[in-house]
Amino acid sequence: MTESLIIGAFLGGLVSFLAPCVLPIIPGFLAYLAGSSTAEAGSKRKEIFINSIFFVLGFGIVFALLGVLLNTLLENIAYDVQTWLSRIGGVMIIFFGLYLVGLIKIPFLERKCQRRERKPS
């Protein structure tokens, strides 16, 4: 049973990776990871590959640790509290989705970061 779940998860990830909305942005994304344009990406294949591997590892480790931590903390909480936490999380996701679509304006999220100028010493 576990083996079939792993195969199913792998195939689901592969299908989502090959989706028409994801596949076209991969060359630009890999070039971004390498810090070069798509025209220069051919000469930096090794650097792009290494950066991609570390990006995926870092992303995966952070979310896996967050999942384990939250699951450990929340497994002993009553079912009612878990239900309310999931509802609050759902409302937050909907709220930020409406913000991204442009239906809600949040002024402090639209401010630009001001970098402090460092004086050479």
Give domain status of residue 106, yes or no.
yes
Asked if the structure places residue 57 within a domain, the reply is yes
Give the pLDDT score at 9: 87
Reported as a single tens digit per residue, the pLDDT across 73-106 is: 777 777 778 788 889 989 999 998 898 888 988 8
In a domain, 23, yes or no: yes
- pTM exceeds 0.75, yes or no: no
Confidence at 112, pLDDT banded by 50, 70, 90:
confident
Considering only CA atoms, give the Rg of the chain: 21
Clarify whether residues 53 and 21 are in a common domain.
yes
Domain boundary among 63, 83, 100: 63
Residues 9 and 56 in one domain: yes
Sign of the torsion formed by the C-alpha atoms of 117, 33, 38 and 20: negative
Residue-wise pLDDT tens digits, 13-63: 888 878 777 777 777 776 666 666 656 656 677 777 787 788 778 878 888
**Both 53 and 6 in a single domain?**
yes
Q: Are residues 49 and 21 in the same domain?
A: yes
Number of independent structural domains in the chain: 2
Q: Is residue 118 part of a domain?
A: no
**What is the Cβ-side half-sphere exposure of residue 65, based on CA atoms within 13 angstroms?**
6
Tokens of 121: 């010493």
HSE-CB of 50 using CA atoms within 13 angstroms: 5
Which residues constitute the domain of residue 79? 70-110
